Amino acid sequence: MAGPKGITVWRHPRPEGVKGRCIGARSDVPVHWRRAKRLARRIQAHARRHRLPHEIWTSPLQRCADVGRWLRRWGWTHHTRDDLREMDFGAWDGRAWHDIPKAEVDAWVADFLGFAPEGGESLQALLDRVTACALPAGALAVSHGGWMLARRWRHEQPQRQPSADRWPRPPNYGEAWRVD
């Protein structure tokens, strides 16, 4: 899965109390310590299997950084990076999806690339951010589903404009992707 050119990024463990809510860069929701430790053990085994350095980059949000903190306890170097954060949903962040006005969601679907919820960032801004995120070749990271989707989209379909009907489903919690 990991190689010298790309990076391997894991989606953070399933956070507590988020079902049915819009969770982005402003919602610093916790994960159960056992889930964070379990993912850290999987990353540790991956690094051992592929003879990779014991160095991890994470989003500063606790659902990612807690995994890095476990690894740091075991002698790893842990870096947090703001550019690994989830999309900023602005005024939507933390709200139940059913409480977000339908007209706003419809506006997002109609302008999937350019629309930004009040005070938040557009998908275009997220795509630009993930494109600018330079991690060392072979790096290991823990980030968010939206970040991972944007990074993969940029790599696999750089000339294709994303739309709501073509946007893929996020990876499962704890799932790893190799992205370039």
pTM over cut 0.85? yes
Among 38-52, 135-149, 154-168, where is mean pLDDT lowest?
Answer: 154-168
Number of domains present in the structure of the chain: 1
Residue 28 lies in a domain: no
Residue 36 lies in a domain: no
Residue 88 lies in a domain: yes
Question: Nearest 5°: phi and psi at 60?
Answer: -75, -10
Residue 10 lies in a domain: no
Domain of residue 101, residue span? 47-179
**Nearest CA among 4, 9, 1, 3 for reference residue 142:** 9
Q: What is the pLDDT of residues 93-108, one digit of tens each?
A: 999 999 999 999 999 9
Any idea what the Cα angle at residue 170 is, between residues 149 and 99, rounded to 5°?
110
Residue 155 lies in a domain: yes
Residue 112 lies in a domain: yes
Residue 97 lies in a domain: yes
Q: What is the pLDDT of residues 58-87, one digit of tens each?
A: 999 999 999 999 999 999 999 999 999 999
